[in-house]
Amino acid sequence: MTQGKPSLVDKNPGDLSSGQSSVSPAPPSYEEATAGAPKMVASTSESCYSDVEMLTEFTWDDRNIRRVFIRKVYAILAIQLLVTLSIVSLFTFCVPVKDYIQTNPGWYWASYAVFFVTYLTLSCCSAPRRKFPWNLILLAIFTLSLSYMTGMLSSFYDTKSVIMCLGITTAVCLLVTILSFQTKIDVTSYQGVLLIFCMVMFISGLVLAIVLPFQYVPWLDTTYAVLGAILFTMFLAFDTQLLMGTKRYTMSPEEYIFATLSIYLDIVYIFSFFLQIFGTRQE
């Protein structure tokens, strides 16, 4: 016996029992085929309009997310700088506090250890950096420790020098931020230059750490401070353009803690290097 291809009757046994053969439906007439055409065109245009509207809303939402991200970063940064400015002012203008922190350097090394641990945690571990409220708690501890270190450093300089360096730092940071937002130069593509600059600063710091204890050379310290101020000014422009999201490399809106940490650290280091350049040490 040969087995042939199944027919429509084989697929529909109910038709076989009723004795009716399966007949394919006749094709529709021209009038029937064209009767639903306007509805089809209308539905197609409506779907295209909805797709365009959705694309526009998505683009607008993406811009809103970036704007909210920038506002959040600068709001947290303003609080950090206010805390740092308050501690620096306290350690500079209050003589009993200044004498206490200068005669107890152990608190400085303790704050340095806290600063180092929290910095590594926030920089290298994405889980605590993104998990609320631990990210804000770690950032607050980081800010207090670095503020203490900056305040203690400022206490060894003349009050007028500290005020002058605060003003210079404010002017430089505002100018760099405005230029970073307005310029067409993509600083984020110069990562190799920043890496080489960092290597030069690292090797120079090791050499200075060995040379300066034996014989103090003022111009070496000043030169190193000038290079450091230039480097972290470049880092400020780099981190600001990462925050913008309009250049070659950008930062995710989820990383607002890391963005705040980076810009805050740049500003504090710029102030510290300006203090070494223009500051006058107290006798």
Q: Which residue in the block uniquely carries the two structure tokens 């305040």? A: 151
34: left (phi over 0), alpha (psi -120 to 50) or beta: alpha
CA 171 and chain centroid, separation: 22
What is the SS3 assignment for the chain?
CCCCCCCHHHHCHHHHHHCCCCCCCCCCCHHHHHHCHHHHHHHHHHHHHHHHHHHHHHHHHHHHHHHHHHHHHHHHHHHHHHHHHHHHHHHHHCHHHHHHHHHCCHHHHHHHHHHHHHHHHHHHCHHHHHCCCHHHHHHHHHHHHHHHHHHHHHHCECHHHHHHHHHHHHHHHHHHHHHHHHCCCCHHHCHHHHHHHHHHHHHHHHHHHHHCCCCCCHHHHHHHHHHHHHHHHHHHHHHHHHHHCCCCCCCCCCCHHHHHHHHHHHHHHHHHHHHHHHCCECC
pLDDT of residue 41: 39
pLDDT tens digits, one per residue of 203-216: 888 877 777 666 66
Q: What is the per-residue pLDDT across 154-199, written as a single tens digit (0 to 9) for each?
A: 888 888 888 898 999 999 999 998 988 887 888 888 888 888 888 8
Residue 63, both tokens: 């811009």
pLDDT tens digits for 247-274? 777 777 778 888 899 999 999 999 999 9
Domain spans of the chain? 67-278
Q: What's the whole-number mean pLDDT along residues 60-70?
A: 73
CA angle 78, 79, 85 (to 5 degrees): 85
Nearest one of 180, 170, 178 to 274, comparing CA atoms = 170
pLDDT for 32 = 55
pLDDT for res 15: 47
Supply the pLDDT for residue 270: 93
pLDDT band at 148 (very low <50, low <70, confident <90, very high): very high
Torsion of CA 130, 131, 137, 138, to 10 degrees: -50
C-beta separation of 232 from 273 below 8 A:
yes
- State the sign of the Cα–Cα–Cα–Cα dihedral 126, 127, 133, 137: negative
Residues 24-40 pLDDT 10s: 555 555 455 455 544 44
143/151 Cα distance (integer angstroms)? 12
Q: Distance of CA 128 to CAs 99, 108, 112, 182, Å? A: 37, 25, 20, 34
What is the arithmetic mean of pLDDT over 52-56?
A: 35
What's the whole-number average pLDDT of the chain? 77
Of the CA atoms within 13 Å of residue 100, those in its CB half-sphere come to 10
